[in-house]
Structure 1
Amino acid sequence: MPMIPLDSGDGQSDKDVRRRVNAALDGAGRAIERASDGTGVAERLALAVKSSELLSSVWTLPPAQRVMFHPGDRLVDIPADGTPGFPAGKAEGQRFIDLSSGEISRFMGLMYANGVRGSHRRLLIILQGMDASGKGGIVRHIFRQGDPMGIHYHGFGAPSEEELRHDFLWRIKRELPRDGWVAVFDRSHYEDIIMPRVYGTQPESVWRERYDIVNDFERSLVADGCSVIKIFLTINRDFQKGRFLDRLDDPTKRWKFDVSDLDARERWDDYMQAWQEVFERTSTSFAPWYIVPANKRWYSRAVVSELLRTTFTTMNLTWPALSCDEDEARARLSL
């Protein structure tokens, strides 16, 4: 039976809301333990689904609905320091991430096993955002319990000379996930729309036609079994300024700072306008955009974790059956 989402907390004290959130997390934790101890495939999968539903019940409105881009939404109007849909605080959010990341690891193993057996199911996660929006932290925190086998991470910078000799999707296609794998793109083919527009490096006719090319490309991926999650981490200028100053102040973080970050910051409004049109033109039913407030790191990580885990559950995968005669295998092992 589907879990009923927690109330938003209207008319309740913060203490009552946190108690209810922690009760749901306690239930999810117990289901996760039982799933690990279960013997049968059906039992384990049923408990995994239950634990995922309990985790989802923490949200007053599923992130897939709350932060999905809808016609009429304006990027500049979205509060970057908000936590829409999550009724509790950082401590509960971090606990949610810890539990959810473990379940993500379980589902990743399941998808990988199916990929080995010929399934085309795979997942592409696209992370975009202004500098210092936390794209790298998303990867480290959400996948920290995952098996490196089955995860492919790639960051896209300015195209190399070789890449410029090909069409703009050439370098993207080379990094797509294999069957059963998860690929995480830190920046993506959308840079080939944004950058030419903001800096005027290519005629408008060139970058503008890429909207339709990208939509066709992502449609073909989804049709072939590749789920696509597109996330834009939105921060405000004051938050970015603080992050940049942290990098300048801390000798261990100075390697992250580049003067080009300041060039982009000076064109902030141009970037916001460019991304607004990207969302309007490429947020589709098969590959929607999710605009995630990211001033509070724990919140953005919780949202991405929820989006990822629920995407896995909708795949309805089961563990592949043994591909040989079990009795014969056991007989050979007894020799």
Structure 2
Amino acid sequence: MADLIRITDVSPRDGLQNEPGIIPTRDKLELIRLLCHSRVDQIEITSFVSPKWVPQLADAAAIVEGVRDIAVQDFTGSPPNRYIALIPNAKGLEVLHAAESGATKHGLEQFRPPVVSTIALFAAASETFSQKNINASIEESFERFRQVTRVPRSSPGIRGYVSCVIACPFEGAIKPQAVADVAARFTDLGVTEIDLGDTIGAGTPETVLEMLEAVERRIGRTWFDRGALVLHLHDTFGRAADCVKAALDFGVRSFDGSVAGLGGCPYASTPGKRVPGNISTELLVRTIEGAGFRTRVDKNRLAIAADYARTIVAASRAGSGGGPLQKNGGGQS
């Protein structure tokens, strides 16, 4: 039987965070509900970053409480979706814990485990990008992460993001060894997943393989074999599907996507032109299954989620004066 590939949809967080118009919380929750029904394996639902820096995600606590309600309403005995939230620092984790505490006050003891099964930490293989994106050096970012991981939590999942694994919008090409070094620091921290992000979509099959080989040499093959090594691709130059195929051949068994191709690095766009962002989950699933592998995803329900995502983002952009929503990879083959 063909290998089963795990799919994480990041559209509720990564896909929406840079949208200029504030999307109502109820619309975000409906997108998450539709993604649950599409049977993606994990959903990145929000980030507990300061609303001052990312106003779009100021409703993070409300999202967590709403996701608890989705689980209560839609649980049918099938494996529940696993939810991820990005945590920038120990303060963000405190806010998450407070939100989860509030979300348990429904008199439903069977749903008392944390809403968020995995917290995500965000680092970079580029020193300049780290400074500009999270206002900290790579070393300083890992000191923040150590503070987060010291806090007891009943749900042990920790995802470590490494951005700029191929190239940086400020430094240019990134050496594969730099990526491997940051990945190794995450293993030392005790993460359960490592997510390698081609932040500006500069990757080709050749450069992606070179990077993966360096990471494998540093942290070992078992991360790939157990599906704990995740690849997060952007389709800026239309090469993401080719990179997926190369990564599958190498042994990657977990990928991120974003319905309708939402999101992407703002440094890769200009005010007058939005470039394609994250690989669309629709294209990702088609590419994986076309290569002879399996996913759990219901493609018809995924298409419904993608259409809904386009609708709420188009409404947001119309209200804010933003540009039109493009189908970033959703219709490609």
Q: TM-score scaled to structure 1, two decimals?
A: 0.28
Which of the pair has the greater relative contact order for Cα pairs under 8 Å at 6+ separation?
1
Max radius of gyration: which structure?
Answer: 1
For normalisation by structure 2, the TM-score amounts to 0.28
> As a proportion of its length, which structure holds more strand?
2
Bigger share in helix: 1
